[in-house]
Amino acid sequence: MKQKQNMAALSGQEQRLAEAPVGKLLFSLAVPTVLAQLVNLLYNIIDRMYVGRIPEAGTKALAGLGVAFPIIMLISAFAALIGSGGAPRAAIKMGQKDHEGAEEILGNSFTALLVLAVLLTVIFLPTKDGLLMLFGASQDTLPYASNYLGIYLIGTIFVQMTLGLNQFIAAQGFSKISMMTVVIGAVINIVLDPIFIFVFKMGVSGAALATILSQGVSAVWVLRFLTGKKTILHIRRKHLKLKWPVLVSITALGVSPFIMNATECLVQLTFNSGMQKYGNDLYVSAMAILFSINQLVWLPLSGVGQGAQPIISFNYGAGNMHRVRKTFRLTFAFNLTFSIVFVGIILLFPRIFIGLFTDDKQLLELGSYGLRIFMAGMCVMGAQNACQQTFLATGNAKISLFMAMLRKVILMIPLALVLPMFINPPTNGLYLAEAFSDVLAATITTVVFFSTTYRRLRKADIAQQT
C-alpha cells in the first residue's frame, strides 16, 4: 500500500523512470542522447571538414584547429565538472523524492557555470598564443589557431551553459529535449559554416563565429526549458546563491568527467607536441583527423551511457537495485558490441574516414596508415565506458576519479612519451600509446567494476528479492 502511495506521488516522468520496462525505456532515452552526441560532434567535425578544404591553406588551417582543440576540450571539461557532477546528484535526489534538494543543486550549478565562464574567458584570452605554441603550433599554423580560438573564447559562456545545463534536462528523462538542444545548434552551425568560411571569405574565423553563434542559440533553448512549465526541476532565484556543501557534492562527483575531459587536453598536447617533434605540420594535421574519428566512436558510447544515467541514478536513489543492474547489463552489452563492430569497420576502410576531412593525397596516406594503429584498442572501450558511466550514476566519486585518471594520465601520456624512444619510426610509438592504454584501461576498469560496485548491487538486489 505504501509503495502504491509513493508511486502515486511521483510525476509522470518519474513514474516512467521507476516502472517502465527497462529495455524500452533505455532505448527511448539512449537513442536521442546518442543522436545528440553525434550531432554535437558535428560542431568540430564540420569545422574541420570545411577548414581542411580552404583553398591553398587547408592543411595548415586544419593543423591550427587541431592545436586549438585541446584548449576547447579544457573549456568543455569545466562544463562537465558541474553538469556531470550535478545532474546525477539531482537525479538521485529526485529518486529520494527530495525535489527541493534537486533544485538547489540545479541552481548552484547554474551560478557555478556562469562564474567559470567569466574566469575562463579572462584567463585564456590574453594567454592563448603562448598556450598554442606550447600545444604544438608552429609559426605557420599559429595564425589559424589563434584566430579560431580568440573568437571561440568570446562564446565561452554559451558553451558552459549549453554543455553544463543540458545534462540536467537529460537527467530528468527529457532525452528528446536534450537532443534538440544539440540539433538546433548543429544545424545552425552547418548552415553558417560555408557562408562565413567561403562566401564571406572569413576562413577559420568564420568557422569559430559560426560555432559560438550556434552555441548561443542552444544556450537560450536550455535556459527557456529549465525555467518553463514542462521541466520537473526549475532554475529558481532562491537557489542561485552558492552553498559550499552543495558545490562540494557536485564537484566531488564531477571531478571524474572533468579529469576525463581535461586529460584529453593533456593527451592532445602530448601527441601534437610529439608529432611536431618527430614529424612536422602534416603529422599534426593527421592527428587532428585521428582525434575526430576517435570521437566518432567515443561519443555514441557516451550517449548510451548518458541515456542510462537517469534510469540508474533515479532507481539507485529509490533503492530499486534490480532495475539498476538490468539497465547496466543492457548498456554494457550494447556498448561493447558497438565498439567492436564500428572500430572493425574503421580499421577495414580507413581511407573512407580520412577522406571525410581532406583531399590531400599525402595526408590521406599518412592518416590511413596511422588510423589502423591508433584505433585498434578502441574496440573494447564499450566495456570501459559502460562501467565508468555507472560509477558516476551511482555516485561512486572516488573510484570514478581513479578510472578517469587511469587511461590517460597513468597510462596514455607516459606511454606517449616513452614508446617513441624505442620504436622506429617514433610516430608509431605515439599511435601505439593510444592502442595499448585503451586495452589496459578497459580491462582494469571492467574487472574493478564487477568485483566492487556490481557485486554490491547484486547483493542488494538479492536481499530485496528475499
**What does the pLDDT read at residue 2?**
40
DSSP 358: -
Structurally, the chain folds into a number of domains equal to 1
Q: Is residue 456 assigned to a domain?
A: yes
Average pLDDT over residues 325-331: 93
CB–CB of 339/380 below 8 Å?
yes
Residues 6+ apart with CB under 8 A from 357: 45, 48, 49, 52, 62, 288, 289, 292, 367
> How far, in Å, CA of 160 to CA of 116, rounded?
8
* Grid cell locating 396: 561512486
Average pLDDT over residues 157-167: 94
Q: Is residue 3 assigned to a domain?
A: no
* Grid cell locating 449: 567494476
**What does the pLDDT read at residue 8?**
45
Average pLDDT over residues 215-228: 96
Average pLDDT over residues 256-281: 85
Q: Is residue 6 assigned to a domain?
A: no
**What does the pLDDT read at residue 303?**
83
CB–CB of 129/146 below 8 Å?
yes
Given the C-alpha cell 552526441, which residue does it identify? 37
> How far, in Å, CA of 386 to CA of 335, rounded?
7
> How far, in Å, CA of 397 to CA of 167, rounded?
18
Q: Is residue 11 assigned to a domain?
A: no
DSSP 141: T
**What does the pLDDT read at residue 151?**
96
Q: Is residue 8 assigned to a domain?
A: no
Average pLDDT over residues 412-425: 94
Residues 6+ apart with CB under 8 A from 107: 235, 236, 238, 239, 240, 241
Residue 193 reports pLDDT greater than 70: yes
Q: Which of 397, 106, 447, 83 is nearest to 256 (CA)?
A: 397
> How far, in Å, CA of 424 to CA of 60, rounded?
26
Average pLDDT over residues 278-301: 88
Average pLDDT over residues 203-232: 94
Average pLDDT over residues 415-444: 95
Confidence bin at 9 (pLDDT 50/70/90): low
* Grid cell locating 195: 557562408
Q: Is residue 16 assigned to a domain?
A: no
Check: pTM over 0.95? Answer yes or no.
no
Residue 307 reports pLDDT greater than 90: no
**What does the pLDDT read at residue 357?**
83
Confidence bin at 5 (pLDDT 50/70/90): very low
Query: What is the DSSP track for 56-122?
Result: TTHHHHHHHHHHHHHHHHHHHHHHHHHHHHHHHHHHHHHHTT-HHHHHHHHHHHHHHHHHHHHHHHH
Q: Which of 133, 148, 153 is nearest to 48 (CA)?
A: 148
- For residue 269, the tally of other CB atoms under 10 A from its CB is 21
Residue 22 reports pLDDT greater than 70: yes
The domain of 275 spans 22-465
Confidence bin at 372 (pLDDT 50/70/90): very high
> How far, in Å, CA of 397 to CA of 30, rounded?
23
pLDDT digits (tens, 9 = 90+) for 56-115: 676 788 878 878 888 888 898 999 999 999 998 998 899 888 999 999 999 999 999 999
Dmax of the chain from CA atoms? 73
* Grid cell locating 272: 601534437
Given the C-alpha cell 509503495, which residue does it identify? 3
CB–CB of 285/58 below 8 Å?
no
* Grid cell locating 47: 569545422
Residue 402 reports pLDDT greater than 80: yes
Q: How far is CA 212 from the centre of its chain?
A: 18
Residue 6 reports pLDDT greater than 50: no
Q: Is residue 77 assigned to a domain?
A: yes
> How far, in Å, CA of 43 to CA of 41, rounded?
5
Q: Is residue 353 assigned to a domain?
A: yes
Half-sphere exposure of 415 (CA within 13 A, CB side): 23
- DSSP run (H or E) holding 15: helix 12-19
pLDDT digits (tens, 9 = 90+) for 29-64: 888 777 766 776 666 677 777 887 777 676 788 878
